Amino acid sequence: MTSREKILAAVKQNQPESVPMPDIAFLTGEPVEATEKFVTTLTTIGGRVYRVGSYDEIAAIVKQNYTGGQRIITLIPELAEITTEVFAPQPAAHHLQDVELAVLKAHFGVAENGAVWVTEELLGHRALPFITQHLAVVVNAADIVPTMHQAYARNIDLSYGYGAFIAGPSKTADIEQSLVIGAHGSRSMTVFLMG
């Protein structure tokens, strides 16, 4: 018998009688003003939020904060002017190790935890939001949902190979519980809330 057969046989023999799956539809969270809540939550967990009306505004903010010499990359065509190079997605990500800022699009945001949902095709490379020193994400204000329940109800496109909720900058509190921003992933996270 293979281990697979052994394990499955043991599971079958030892598992209790089948109980039904509970309905989770009643879990919706409290009604909230989603955008407001998103801004407060993300700010509390160390992110920065700019409410903007256009891509031009985003470009202006980026140019103001990043001057000279640093690698800035984006896959958003409207932001082409801020990119310091043509960014071609390719399997290996090692060439991204000195990226200073990556500006990405997100599908939607979640008010209760300040997270944004991104999938592979928005990233160019899976490693990009982690390997970059700083991360910025553009999301429509209209695309903020209250809780994770609406988030999963909304993200029904299952074609991705990799997707992630990203909530704020990388952090750790492993040394005597002191919060330190910037562990292995991005040192800061900015969300441009559009509209």
Answer for which of 51, 142, 162, 195 binds another protein (CB under 8 A) is 162
Site for another protein in 124-153 (CB under 8 A): 125-127, 129-131, 147-149, 151-153
How many residues contact another protein, by CB under 8 A?
Answer: 75
Closest to another protein by CB, 50 or 160 = 160
Q: How far is the CB of 94 from another protein (least distance, A)?
A: 6
Instruction: Assess contact for 37 and 112: CB atoms under 8 A.
Output: yes
31 binding another protein? (CB under 8 A): no
12 binding another protein? (CB under 8 A): yes
174 binding another protein? (CB under 8 A): yes
167 binding another protein? (CB under 8 A): yes
Which token pair is 54?
């256009």
Residue 109 pairs in a beta bridge with 116, 144
| Sheet of 108-110, strands arranged across | 115-119, 108-110, 144-145
* Euclidean distance between CA atoms 49 and 122, whole angstroms: 20
88 binding another protein? (CB under 8 A): no
Instruction: Assess contact for 154 and 142: CB atoms under 8 A.
Output: no
